Homo-oligomer: A and B are copies of this chain.
Amino acid sequence: MPKYEKISNEIRRRIKEGLYSLDEPIPDEISLAEEFGCSRMTVKRALDVLVSEGLLYRKRGHGTFIVKSAMLNGLVNVVSNETLGLTRLLEGRKVTSHVITFEVLFPSDEVASHLCINANTPVYHLIRLRNVDGEPYVIERTYMPVHLIPGLNETVLHGSIYHYMTHDLGLTIAGSHRKIRADKPNELDRQYLQCAPDDPVLELEQVSFLNNGEPFEYSFSRHRYDKFVFVTVSTRR
């Protein structure tokens, strides 16, 4: 683990435990550099992490301060904008999957363009219902190029595709582009998510890509509106 990460972890811990006052700046960068026995640039980088988490803000010519609302709202523990499969997202709760559709087909124009492949490249088309502690939670419709994720089968689909990709195939997920919207329930939502006709769903459309740049997944995850909140932090440049 790099030094700047150790430092940011340590400072995050101090903030959580209330070791720094909310009304004064935390120690200045040069003092922190001396304390941690490193250069000022390394401290700055460590603080960058916490600023981007919405935990700290800086005021030029004044100092670096703790964001009060982050403290009092328990956001200290929220890791935002993660690219996590559902299985890891809800650690500690029992996630099961019911496979509704699992087939291979040629992609539509829309799917092909989002996955940056041509119309002759086979893709998996799969629909899964994910249950948390036995209750329907989210239904996912996913398209993935077959050649990127070889060997997908029902056993994998009942567990975590992300785990299969990272552990068994040795792939690395780099990130994703996401769109979040609200929608009316469709046939599948009503049937599997047990949505009432007037229950909205929270849809997350995303294109995820590997660390070799290939988009490997184009998916629509539709969540029960009463069981999912998307949390994020926004900071000015």
Contacts and interface: CB of A to CB of B under 8 A. Distances in A.
Interface string A86-115: 000000000000000000000000000111
Given A175-B235, A225-B181, A233-B175, A57 B213 contact: yes
A200 B177 contact: no
Contacts of A59: 211-212
B69 A177 contact: yes
A129 interface: no
A236 B209 CA distance: 11
Given A225-B200, A232-B81, A209 B179 contact: no
A175 B80 CA distance: 14
Contacts of A207: 69, 73
Interface of A: 54, 57, 59, 65-70, 72-73, 75, 81-83, 113-116, 172-184, 197-202, 207, 209, 211-215, 223, 225, 228-236
